[in-house]
Amino acid sequence: MDFFKQPKSANLNFFVLMLLNQNSTHGYELIKKIEEKTSNQWKPSHGAIYKTLNDLEKKGYLEAGEPGERQQIPYKLTGKGRKLVEKIRIQFRKSWQAYLQIIVENERLNLLPLILDFLWNDGNWDYFQDFNVEKQMSLLKEAKSWLEDKLRIIERKIKEIAAK
């Protein structure tokens, strides 16, 4: 995975591989999907996307199909590309575990609501399952305690408003 050593191109490689893992598509559609997935924070240029597609194709991670409508060339992952995606997922899971553990243990950041939102709303419980049972229990107890504190604050505010 040597092409992940350069941060700027690493992000684009990551997005292209993950999006092509979902289904084959052409460069312009990849640009639109990346822009959508990043909440319009990043729109790779046509030059950057096609350079990335060409580089990944040369390395055997994807292959180009026959030009279709408007001469758009569809790209899809090869077997080698799917294996790379699996390696990336494993690496991401390990990294996410470390981030999650550090964030939860660092009370000063108080990012527990963000983590809970990520787990519940995005259906990412698979990452949580990577922890051993004791760690899962510890994280859930901490989340429960945090939620109970927030409920007490809400109940107090309701009483204050009702008393007015």
pLDDT band at 66 (very low <50, low <70, confident <90, very high): confident
Q: Are 51 and 31 a contacting pair, CB within 8 Å?
A: no
The answer for residues whose C-beta is within 8 angstroms of residue 130's C-beta and 6 or more apart is 93, 97
- pLDDT tens digits, one per residue of 80-121: 999 999 888 888 777 777 776 676 666 545 556 666 666 665
Contact call for residues 40 and 46 (beta carbons, < 8 A): no
What number is the average pLDDT over the span 140-145?
78
Rounded to the nearest integer, the mean pLDDT of the chain is 79
pTM over 0.95: no
Q: Is pLDDT at 7 greater than 50 in this prediction? A: no
* 3-class DSSP state of 164: coil
